[in-house]
Amino acid sequence: MTLRNSIILLAGTLLIQPAMAACQWDPDPAFGGEKPTTLTISGTTLYVDANAPVDDIIETLNSSMQARQISYINCVPGENYGKTALPPLQPTGMARSFTTNIAGLSVRPAWTNATGAFGYYPSFQTMPEKRFNYPVNSYFRLEFIKTAPRLKLKDPKGDIALNAGVILRNWITVDTPSTYAQLLQIGDIRIVSIPSCSLDGPRTVDFNDVSASDLRRGVVRDLNFSLTCATDYGSYSATASLSAASPNSDGTIPAADSAGNSDRMKIQVTDSNDGRMPADGTLGETRVNVADSVPVNFRWKATLLEGNGTLPEDGKLTARAEILLVVN
């Protein structure tokens, strides 16, 4: 009885051997001969507009390409292969999307066999035949997608969206670290948001008709404007300054009369606190910790003054300067 049981057990062992056959890496250079490979995406910084639409792909990163074909032989049709996203990537609940370190930003990994079509992660398929290849010029892709109106960022120099490491695996037969065909290794992927701002206010100050006595007294006009910025950092700071191409030595803006004389009139600009605003850009009015999308109002004034004491020629006066805005 014991002998008969042993023979039956041995027969059972022999019968199941063919089902355990698995793809084997083929070193033959005629079929590529490349060993399982790690492709890379170097560390980089992505830039996003704070007002970029939700669900938009804000950036796409491609890995290095497969230099030579990786080939497997002795595969059993129906044998498994697939693509897996590795920790710390976690599904977001949206199709094919995974988490990043940034709230409001997800990543959608993909892979192409160099045909132009992309397959997304994860996937699980079966071998169609006995040889299976990872072709030359195949590569990984990361698509970064905005999933909320505002990202939650802290570091203006770049928050880390994905930490350096191996995050994707293409595998053969079974999904384990030792059965990979291709891996994707990345450097730190950082993201910086660019504030999206709009300026509201007059582009021209009209002094209307001005007499000699008006010039001596000074003709004052409002120069009010507001700035509104969307930001992914919760708040922003804004500095407004004034710049003319050739300001006067006292910081005023030269105003030319109809004959082109630019020394007979000048314009003095003052800021919201009635401080003199030089037209050389050296001083500015700053507002800090302004909440996202809340406007900053600047209440400036422009005063037209006489220049060297000589009356200007009758006609239209012209003066030009720019308001410079720096947002952080």
pLDDT tens figures, 85-116: 999 999 998 889 999 999 999 999 999 999 88
Indicate whether 26 pLDDT > 60. yes
Write down the architecture of domain 21-194 according to CATH. Sandwich (2.60)
Domain ranges of the chain: 21-194, 196-327
CB 229 within 8 A of CB 195: yes
Do you know the residue count of the chain?
328
Q: What pLDDT sits at residue 168?
A: 98
Give the closest residue to 184 by CA, choosing from 60, 44, 63, 25.
63
Least confident of 155-169, 204-218, 232-246: 204-218
Q: Do residues 155 and 191 touch, judged by C-beta distance below 8 A? A: no
In terms of Cβ atoms closer than 10 Å to its own Cβ (0-12, 13-18, 19+), residue 2 is: exposed
Mean of pLDDT values over 158-166: 98
d(CA 128, CA 322): 67
Same fold, 21-194 and 196-327: yes
pLDDT at position 204 is 85
**Cβ contact 77:128 at 8 Å:** yes
Residue 292 near residue 234, CB atoms below 8 Å? yes
> 196-327: which CATH topology?
Immunoglobulin-like (2.60.40)
Of the listed ranges 56-65, 156-165, 208-217, 228-237, the least confidently predicted one is: 208-217
Q: Report the C-alpha gap between 188 and 47 in whole angstroms.
A: 14
What is the separation of C-alpha 16 from the centre of its chain, rounded to a whole number of angstroms?
Answer: 54
Task: Look over the chain and give the mean of its residue pLDDT values, rounded to a whole number.
Answer: 91
CA-closest candidate to residue 173, choices 54, 74, 46: 74
Q: What is the pLDDT of residue 201?
A: 82
- Of the ranges 13-17, 56-60, 290-294, which one carries the lowest mean pLDDT score? 13-17
Q: Is the pTM of this model over 0.85?
A: no
